[in-house]
Amino acid sequence: MPDPRVPTGNVTGVPQVPGRAVGGAGRRTTGPVTLMDVARRAGVSLATASRALNGGERRVREDLRERVIAAAAELDYAVNTQAQAVARGRSNVVGLLVHDIADPYFSSIAAGVMRAADEHGLIVTLSTTMRQPEREAGYVASLRGQRARAVILAGSRVDDPGLAERLQRELAAFEATGGRIAVIGQNRLPADTVLVENRATARELAVALAGLGHRRFAVLAGPKRLITAGDRVRGFTEGLADAGIDLGPDDVVHGDFTRDGGYETMHALLARGFDATCVFAVNDVMAVGAMAALREHGVRLPEEMAVAGFDDIATLRDVTPALTTVRIPLEEIGAAALSLVAQPRAERPRLRRVPGEVVLRESTARIG
């Protein structure tokens, strides 16, 4: 159960919700069953009913306790969590902020968050920026209004000082009201962070690809301001340098962080002409788009062109040729982020490093 304190109702199977009339002095309205109703039916006070139902410490006599629980079940009572939150000053909801929930990267993270939230008895509200990072701050403000217990920022940080400052202020305000914060991706905010080793693993990937005999590369780099994308490009460049390979500015082309982004930049590259044996797309979804574009141009994969991605998206593991990529444990990352915010705040921000793993598959054949 998501929250053990919430009576599931219907234990007795008596569908008594509409038109119930309690005790001698029935309630006037037909609105939701309230704790008052339960208390009256059980013949106890409001306070006792509250303690019996919620009671962290069991300081209520057993028979009364049972009567209250029975009454709650009979009336199909469900505690008003909003009122509970107002009275207690804090709620049980965690806000999850993503750029696009249809993107498998985010939906995998979300799955992990949901699983962990369930275990912790927390409720998750979802917000999507529609890939407009400038909306993040507004959502954090909204979550502060909801008195959310925590917020998880799953989207990549953005290279924009103005935005970052506005977001930081909003986060500070959120935290000032007792909210917890976790960031997934980069360690650029003074908050608990699940750091994905984009740069280091992209570097390993480059070395591995060079080891396969590739010497000339093109990079589909994603949006310029997205730090996740930038880190991957940087790491990749470094890895190539390790192998004595130089990546010219013309070899790096920018575009959207989506399938269509990969498709279009690949098309542009093909139209312009380029000299490489291997294309690195900074995420799998783009890589798949690039593969489609290459095929349309009659380029045979992997013989005539190698392609590598990043993330190891589960749904994409069956594309052909199988995609060389970096495995990122997205679901675990989501779960880890939720665990962080479920814990009380530490003195210093916690940092959880998550390594990636290079996975060489058929899309990058050995050459030379």
Q: Which residues bind DNA (CB under 7 A)?
A: 31-32, 34-36, 44-48, 50-51, 53-54, 58-61, 64-65, 79-80, 83-84, 86-89
Nearer of residues 167 and 207 to its own copies, judged by Cβ = 167
User: Rounded to whole angstroms, what are the CA distances from 226 to 131, 159, 232, 282?
Assistant: 10, 6, 10, 11
Stretch that binds its own copies, among 52-60, 143-151, 204-212, 238-246 (CB under 8 A): 143-151
User: Rounded to whole angstroms, what are the CA distances from 175 to 94, 335, 338?
Assistant: 13, 21, 16
DSSP 177: T
> Could you say whether residue 183 binds its own copies (CB under 8 A)?
no
* CB distance 272 to 265 below 8 Å: no
> Could you say whether residue 364 binds its own copies (CB under 8 A)?
no
Stretch that binds its own copies, among 118-126, 198-206, 207-215, 239-247 (CB under 8 A): 118-126
Measure the CA–CA gap between 238 and 245, rounded to whole angstroms.
9
Q: Which does 169 bind (CB under 5 to 8 A by kind): DNA, its own copies, none?
A: its own copies
User: Can you tell me whether residue 56 is helix, strand or coil?
Assistant: coil
To the nearest 10°, the Cα dihedral for 89, 94, 100, 104? -170
Shortest distance in whole angstroms from residue 9 CB to DNA: 12
Q: Which does 346 bind (CB under 5 to 8 A by kind): DNA, its own copies, none?
A: none
* CB distance 363 to 302 below 8 Å: yes
* Among 145, 246, 275, 367, contact with its own copies (rule: CB under 8 A): 145
Question: Among residue numbers 26 through 65, which ones bind its own copies (CB under 8 A)?
Answer: 30-32
* Among 4, 28, 59, 176, contact with its own copies (rule: CB under 8 A): 176
Measure the CA–CA gap between 222 and 61, rounded to whole angstroms.
63
Shortest distance in whole angstroms from residue 98 CB to its own copies: 9
The H-or-E segment that residue 206 falls in is helix 198-211
Measure the CA–CA gap between 353 and 54, rounded to whole angstroms.
38
Q: Which does 45 bind (CB under 5 to 8 A by kind): DNA, its own copies, none?
A: DNA
Per-residue binding string, its own copies, 311-330, x by CB under 8 A, is: --xxxx-xxx----------
